Amino acid sequence: MPSMKLFHTIPGERPTIPLLEGIHSPYDLRLLNRDQLRQVADEVREYLLYSVGISGGHFGAGLGVVELTVALHFCLDTPFDQLVWDVGHQAYPHKILTGRREQLPTIRKEGGLAAFPDRKESPYDTFGVGHSSTSISAALGMALDAKINHSSRRHVAVIGDGALTAGIAFEALNHAASEKANMLVILNDNDMSISRNVGGIRDYLAKLLSSKTYTRGRDEARKLLEPLPPLAQFAKKTEEHLKGMMSPATLFEEIGFNYIGPIDGHDLSGLVTTLQNMRDLPGPQFLHVVTQKGCGFVPAEDDPIKYHAIGKLEVKSDASATPKPSYSNIFAQWICDMADNDSQLVGITPAMREGSDLIEFSKRFPDRYHDVAIAEQHAVCLGAGFATQSTKPVVAIYSTFLQRAYDQVIHDVCVQGLDVTFAIDRAGLVGEDGPTHAGVYDYAYLRTLPEIIIATPSSESECRLLLSTCYQHQGPAAVRYPRGQGPGELPDASLNTVEVGRSLTRREGQSGIVILGFGSRVFAALKAAEKLDATVIDMRWVKPLDEAVLRQYADAKLVITVEEHQRMGGAGSAVGEYFADQGLTVNLLSLGLPDRYEAHAKPEAMLARVGLDANGIEVAIEKRLS
């Protein structure tokens, strides 16, 4: 089979893809000669480069699994056989081969393909994903259903080495083995999650791959024993002993899986042979595949973190302009400044060093920086453990990922009243990643907990102020801020604090209309207030609420709450509960996200769609008044 084609630039024009043009489903792929698969893989890789250059999107992970994707759809009878991709960052080649090639440039755009596998989008997307480490559990459920219903369907879960660090993955492996389920787990080992993979699992896999003794001994033993069919049982036992002596791969076999590997994930011929040999083996099977993130595109091979995802090629920034800092950048500067000021501060992240912008902190304070890998529950409980001692932990985490550690927030932090500060990034609608990544539930699931305080900054300056305030507060505290840039109200270099539970009046109006703004919607409310001559209060806090200001405006003509959060259970609900508890009859209008999952689009388009931009706020108020 010919060698892989390498690319150094992203094609600006649609490439010539003669074989791929004829593949409208995996059925067409399976009609090809096995020797043609190398060309198919090269065409998939080139088309992926071209399409992501048009649309932007996840990049490196898909490049790394092109050969694996081609081999899986060639060897399996998909969609009858069911394939579950973990996370879904790597699913672009899968979409190309399953009838969505021409739609791929629409990925992440409003009305276009979803950024991740989506059951509503295609029968080949067997399970909707976005968060990591769910594939083995989902595939096991499917496999057990097949067992109950005497189905011949095969089930395969593809999981990365980064995702394998999460507890749910090992819980699923343990259960699959105990059920002796007929399923195949493929470990896509590229030594990468979004950030550099860390932890004992990563180290163990690295030792396995670097062990020349193991690989040489295993390969030589197989060569010697392959010509001896009558000694098949002896061969199996010999290989088991080799594994036991030379690698920690016995971990999976001791659990109850038949472990094969590691094999080269870019050797199409070897992949096809191995998958054909394994697909009908009974019981739980484990295939260890070694790939390179960004494979085939030289710049991505050299810098896989940079090329995890890219923007559109045509988007160019003005090199002479000074870019505004994002909220993540504000947090990054604050945590370094606070760490300089307080030697007891430690930073914790669940594999989101780059996303949460802890890069500088990790370099300047390596002994106080803790990346726990994709293990959100552990991150929160680790922070709780720190807080029982003399340290002051800051857990930097996305809103959507904090959902995975809710029990730890309750049981390990809040019940004990421990001094843990949560820096909650990506709050609100995050745009093209869609509903799996939206951070629109945190007000509701946090404000019900005793002990915790919840800050909601409206600008960059407020973000730094409220981070300092929550850090200095003795007890559980959360600061919730959105993705991207704010309105441009930049902070100074101080570590000043504000009073917990005290709001800020942004505008005094004369119309009797009072807008209570929470977080990112305050400046949109200010724009709407200009036309309405409304008062605008930057509430700053979801918990505790500024009860004095609520009492002050209880007899207003109209009180409006505005938040980038689900309306049910959110900040507006908290305001309504306060008025009801006080026996106050208030003309209250709560604006927030409707009771549905919002399809992906640009954040601005999503906010306009749900009526949370300035125009939508104005229209909603005028409608109520009329």
Q: Which of 218, 243, 293, 447 is the catalytic position?
A: 293
Residues 451 and 418: beta-carbon distance below 8 Å: no
Please say whether the dihedral angle defined by the alpha carbons of residues 498, 502, 508 and 509, taken in this order, is positive or negative: positive
Please say whether the dihedral angle defined by the alpha carbons of residues 91, 97, 103 and 104, taken in this order, is positive or negative: positive
Complete DSSP assignment for 464-529: HHHHHHHHHSSS-EEEEEESSB-SS----S------TT--EEEE--SSSEEEEE-GGGHHHHHHHH
- CA separation for the pair 611, 32 (Å, rounded): 51
404 is catalytic: yes
293 is catalytic: yes
- CA separation for the pair 546, 530 (Å, rounded): 24
Q: Radius of gyration of the chain from Cα atoms? A: 27
- CA separation for the pair 126, 140 (Å, rounded): 12
Q: Of 416, 425, 423, which is closest to residue 381 (Cα–Cα)?
A: 416
Indicate the DSSP class of residue 314. Answer: T
Distance of CA 12 to the CA centre of its chain: 29
- CA separation for the pair 206, 202 (Å, rounded): 6
Q: Of 385, 530, 540, which is closest to residue 467 (Cα–Cα)?
A: 540
- CA separation for the pair 328, 346 (Å, rounded): 17
Q: Which of 404, 447, 464, 567 is the catalytic position?
A: 404
For the record, the structure tokens of 422 come out as 């949560």
- CA separation for the pair 27, 81 (Å, rounded): 12
For the record, the structure tokens of 61 come out as 């992970």
**Residue 391: its H or E element:** none
Q: Which of 43, 46, 376, 460 is the catalytic position?
A: 376
Q: Of 570, 614, 620, 577, which is closest to residue 593 (Cα–Cα)?
A: 570
User: Which residues participate in catalysis according to the annotation?
Assistant: 293, 376, 404
